[in-house]
Structure 1
Amino acid sequence: MGWQLSDLTSAVYDSKRREFLGRDGAKWLKLSTFYCFYYIGSVGFFCTMVAILMAITPHDRPRYSGEESRMETRSNPLSPGLGFRPQPTTKNDSSLVFVNNNTNDYQSDPYIQNLDQYLKIYYWNNNHSAEVNKFTINNPGSCTPNNQYGFSNGTPCILVKMNKIVDFVPSLGYHLEDKDAYEAAGCQPGPDAIAVHCYGEYPIDVDNIGGNITYISEKNRDHKCGSLERKWFPYTGKQQRRNVYQAPYVWVQFNNPKPNVLINVICRVYAENIIFDKKKGQGSTRFQIYVKDLSHYWNNNHSAEENKFTINNPGSCTPNNQYGFSNGTPCILVKMNKIVDFEPRPGHKLEDKDAYEAAGCQPGPDAIAVHCYGEYPIDVDNIGGNITYISEANRDHKCGSLETKWFPYTGKQQRRNVYQAPYVWVQFNNPKPNVLINVICRVYAENIIFDKKKGQGSTRFQIYVKDLTRHKLSKQNQKI
């Protein structure tokens, strides 16, 4: 052991030769000098290369822009997309624009705040450069901060702009593949402008928009298309970012969106050198609008010609009582889906006779019955058998009723005038807490077929009443 330790000591420092780790002082000095100059030279060479690169690289734009841009390939032509505001920061990057028509606190609305923040660059007094071109829409109508950008009255203004690409100048006209869509839109953007057009993504969205859109552009207002003047292009890079480049935009105001439904909207720009690709987002943008407005059920004064559906005595099924949710007796609104020119006939189908009589429905001489029940025996027990049906004409514990005078639904005209579909409040007075209850509601009429699998003549939902107080009491009783 002593012999091994002495060998290790000699390997580290040899006192006879005066060497440390196999080298004497002179050798260590030469090695240190070599590596010192080697690393100084390497660092100097690296800094020189960086300095040369920075010297030959443009500071205000990419080296390759316009037609030479590396963004353009044979399979992916250079084509800018569109952007929209408001677009508040969210965790899931949602493209939803939510319009709450049941509040007066618009100052804290994140969508309005986002528009205010974005428009600061347009209204900010920039004195750093006299060469800055300021984009201005002189007559924005109700699309202003003082009018909450139309959000306060359910006619939201959406700001639509073209994304920036250095040295890209849109060409007048439209792409050859877009001829039919351009002519169908009826766009007339002007002699030196390109067109912007928005529409519902699906047929139901087209109907829900109501066909009433106002485009507020720099020079005009139109109900068919907006316009972006070509004088604001091209975007020339960092210099304009430093001077706060004001991208041209169009206000797209939805004057009569259908409330309480999600509306998918596509906005696209037409130019000869812009390709439309919905999947890649080229030449377009996509967003959703949801206008929350329950007022048309309570106080709708939009049209004197409308028949106003009203339940005069809804009990606790009102906003002030949180629709019964605050005390564990939830009110569920049940209505019949709209089919144009369909008119239900009072009575029931022959195969529904036993179920109809078992329910004990008596809807009235000119009404059809609505009845809800537990889907499975355990659900029947959990409901507790205590349901109140609050209809237009009466209150009942067996069935609700829908008056046939509200039918038929006649289509788009009624959607524009806010068609008020008749409904029944179904209040569950004693649902068992802390269990999931499966419920089926069905309607009885002579010409309505019941098919649970296909959802014909019925709807299905679940109720879960969370009540931890009862859960704790039951545990204490079990311990006792």
Structure 2
Amino acid sequence: MPAQNKDDGGWKKFLWNSETKEFLGRTGGSWSKILLFYLIFYGFLAGIFIGTIQVLLLTLSDLKPTWQDRVAPPGLSHHPRLDKAELMFSPDSIETYLEYTKAMREFLSQYYVEKQDDAMQFEDCGDQPQDYKNRGDLESDIGVRKACRFSRAWLGPCSGIDDRHFGFGIGKPCVIVKLNRIVNFRPRPPTSNETIPEEAQHKVQPNVIPMHCTNKKEEDAGKLGEVKYYGIGEGFPLQYYPYYGKKLHGHYLQPLVAIQFVNITLNTEIRFECKVFGENIYYNDKDRYQGRFDVKIAFKS
């Protein structure tokens, strides 16, 4: 018992020593100094952190990403989006393409006419290819910019207006294609036919970025059948560019191109590739969506 009392007394004395006025081995003056030191130390660290963040924010723009090198411009994408880049269906079985057509209807819902009624946000830019629609510099004080209307009726039988199944139910499937949005990017049409396949050279015209789809493998030549294109100039018209970003162009609608395979070979897997052509459009074999994409399609009877 005496030893236990001695230990208890030692512990209590360390916690508070009434003789030396020490708490946990330190006097009030000592605690004040060490607390002041850590207050200044961590305050200095916090100041450095806040200062670097403020300097970083000064280099960023609210209107345009500082760095846009994640994907080299521009990316070409399609709807329906496919996890395995495979489009497998049978016209006699709605279950095989129901997911595709549902995704296409959801995507095109933003192109409904009634959603483009606001004259403060939208304007008519014509149904023929025209030059860039300049709405001022990105950093100017103009504020929110108008966007060109795009009627899904221009996509013909691939619009989903008359055929809710986008041709899948009759063996003539459609795919909707778009160029990805890049702030202040102006795609330039090709100025010559040197880099364009011979079968696509007739598509070169002013004020439009042409697109062409064909079989990717030589052994599939002729199996893809006729491919029809719908949209303004069967490509991406320049009047829809540039895009001013979400803050100034949150209601922006990209121009679309619809492709339809009207007599694809039955019971055969075919990989087709679509590419856009332009002076500042590039391709990379490591990136399947840089300026192009390819999809495997199989029409089973």
TM-score (ref. length: structure 2): 0.76
Instruction: Indicate conservation of the 8 Å contact 1:197/1:269, yes or no.
Output: yes
State the Cα distance separating 1:193 from its structure 2 match: 1.1
Q: CA deviation at 1:153?
A: 0.4
Q: Which runs of 5+ in 1 are unaligned?
A: 73-77, 220-225, 294-480
Q: State the one-letter code of the partner of 2:106.
A: Q
Partners of 1:100 and 1:291 within 8 A in 2: yes
Asked if structure 2 preserves the Cα contact closer than 8 Å seen for 1:61 and 1:238, the reply is no
1:179 match: secondary structure: coil
Give the one of 104, 107, 117 matched to 1:118. 107
Within the alignment, does 1:268 sit opposite 2:275 as a pair? Answer: yes
Asked if 1 retains the 8 angstrom alpha-carbon contact of 2:174 and 2:260, the reply is yes
2:284 to 261, 271, 277: 277
- For residues 164 and 187 of structure 1, the distance between their equivalents in structure 2, rounded to whole angstroms, comes to 26
1:167 aligns with 2:184: yes
Larger radius of gyration: 1
Distance in 2 (CA, whole Å) between partners of 1:274 and 1:70 is 14
Distance 1:101 1:235, change over 3 A: same
Deviation, structure 1 residue 287? 1.0
Structure 1 residue 138, shift from structure 2 partner: 4.0
Query: Aligned equivalents of 1:15 and 1:207: distance in 2?
Result: 99
Structure 2 residue aligned with 1:187: 202
AA aligned opposite 1:31: I
- Which residue in the other structure is 1:103 paired with? 93
1:137 deviates by 4.9
Q: Secondary structure at the match of 1:239?
A: helix
SS of the aligned residue for 2:194 comes to: helix
- Residue 231 of structure 1 corresponds to which residue in structure 2? 239
1:84 — aligned with what? 78
The partner residue of 1:156 within 165, 173, 182 is: 173
AA of the residue aligned to 2:270: I
Report the equivalent of 1:22: 25
Q: Displacement, 1:19?
A: 0.7
CA shift for structure 1 position 136? 2.7
**2:121 aligned residue (129, 138, 160):** 129
In the TM superposition, what are the counterparts of 1:41-440 in structure 2 within 5 Å?
42-43=45-46, 46-47=49-50, 49-51=52-54, 53-64=56-67, 70=69, 78-87=72-81, 93-104=83-94, 109-123=98-112, 125-126=115-116, 127=118, 129-130=121-122, 131-145=146-160, 146-147=162-163, 148-173=165-190, 179=194, 181-210=196-225, 212-219=226-233, 226-240=234-248, 242-243=250-251, 245-281=252-288, 282-293=290-301
Cα distance per residue 1:314-360 (max 9 Å; x no partner) = xxxxxxxxxxxxxxxxxxxxxxxxxxxxxxxxxxxxxxxxxxxxxxx
Q: 1:273 to 1:41 in 2, by over 3 A?
A: same
Contact 2:207 2:237 in 1 (8 A): yes
TM-score scaled to structure 1, two decimals?
0.50
What is the CA distance between 1:111 and its match in structure 2? 0.6
Identify which of structures 1 and 2 has the higher relative contact order when contacts are C-alpha pairs closer than 8 Å and 6+ apart: 2
**Equivalent residues of 1:156, 1:254 under 8 A apart:** yes
* Aligned residues between the structures: 269
Q: Tell whether the 8 Å contact from 1:142 to 1:149 is kept in structure 2 after alignment.
A: yes
Deviations 1:168-192 (A, max 9, x none): 22222168xx726433433324221
Contact 2:111/2:152 (8 A) holds in 1: no
- 1:471 alignment partner in structure 2: none
| Aligned 1:447-458 pairs, distance under 5 A | none
Residues of 2 paired with 1:22 and 1:53: CA distance? 44
- Unaligned runs of at least 5 residues, structure 2: 123-145
Give secondary structure in 2 for the equivalent of 1:110. Answer: helix
One-letter amino acid matched to 1:264: R
2-side partners of 1:288 and 1:57: how far apart? 41
Question: What whole-Å deviation, never above 9, does each CA across 1:441-463 have from its counterpart, x for those lacking one?
Answer: xxxxxxxxxxxxxxxxxxxxxxx
Structure 1 position 96, deviation (Å) = 1.5
Q: CA RMSD in A?
A: 3.0
Task: Report percent identity of matched pairs.
Answer: 26
Question: Do 2:209 and 2:235's aligned partners in 1 also have CA atoms closer than 8 Å?
Answer: yes
Deviations 1:70-89 (A, max 9, x none): 559xxxxx44231011115x
1:101 touches 1:152 (CA, 8 Å); kept in 2?
A: yes
Tell me, what secondary structure is at the counterpart of 2:166? helix
Q: Which amino acid aligns with 1:172?
A: P
Shift of 1:45: 5.5
1:30 Cα deviation after fit: 4.2
